[in-house]
Amino acid sequence: MSSYVSDAASESKVPTEETGKKKGKNNKQTSDPKFRCRFYEKNLPEYEEIVMVQVNSIAEMGAYVSLLEYDGIEGMILLSELSRRRIRSINKLIRVGKTECVSVLRVDRDKGYIDLSKRRVSADQLKATTERYNKGKVVHAIMSTVAQKMQLSLIELNRMITWPLSRSKMFPHPRDAFVMAIQDPGECFEATTGAM
């Protein structure tokens, strides 16, 4: 287990279901929790899932990061999982503020701790995950704007629109449904009504 498990053994950093708030001493809420939410229906990533993170700080054991697609919950890239090669300078491999593509090694669902690996991500996985993340950012921005304009909870809006689109199999990604809704609204809404 990584060293940060013992720091807050009784505190969870998992976002709560209704507010999207993170609990724990590293809680950095910057906006109204009503308009915060993860990209996906599930609360936490799965083992071996490839996710996008932002590096927050570098420590002896590795790098603390925020999982960008999971409302910024905290994870750690272990030092041994940064590179396949011998590490001479950690700062040449990873930098604070940089976005990285990583693989999920372990998820402690009770405590909300997530161990990650940068070295286990292939070039193909990096490309596919970056593309998925960029599409997800577009959808998230649209839904956040709609939630704020309509004064709705973002998580409820995602439950009504985005997550059913993800499950529908009609579109590779909800962003594709949004593009089709703009280009050919009649066909899009006819297709999604029949699929849901």
pLDDT tens, residue by residue, 137-165 = 999 999 999 999 999 999 999 998 888 88
Distance separating alpha carbons of residues 164 and 81, to the nearest angstrom: 35
111 versus 71: the higher-pLDDT residue is 71
Look at 136 and 92; give whichever has higher pLDDT: 136
pLDDT digits (tens, 9 = 90+) for 6-57: 333 333 344 444 334 343 334 443 456 667 788 999 999 999 999 999 999 9
What residue segments make up the domains of the chain, in order of their start? 4-121, 134-195
CATH superfamily, domain at 134-195: Translation initiation factor 2; subunit 1; domain 2 (1.10.150.190)
Is the predicted pLDDT of residue 68 greater than 60, yes or no? Answer: yes
As a whole number of angstroms, the distance between CA 193 and CA 19 comes to: 29
Q: Which pLDDT does position 31 carry in this prediction?
A: 56
Q: Is the pLDDT of residue 125 over 70?
A: yes
Query: What is the pTM for the complete model shown?
Result: 0.73
CATH 3.40.1190.20 fits 4-121, yes or no: no
Kindly state the DSSP code that residue 159 receives in the 8-state scheme: I
With a CB cutoff of 8 Å and minimum separation 6, the contacts of 127 are: none
Q: Where are the alpha helices (DSSP H) in the chain?
A: 4-7, 90-93, 123-150, 154-157, 163-167, 174-183, 185-195
The terminus-to-terminus CA distance of the chain in angstroms comes to: 42
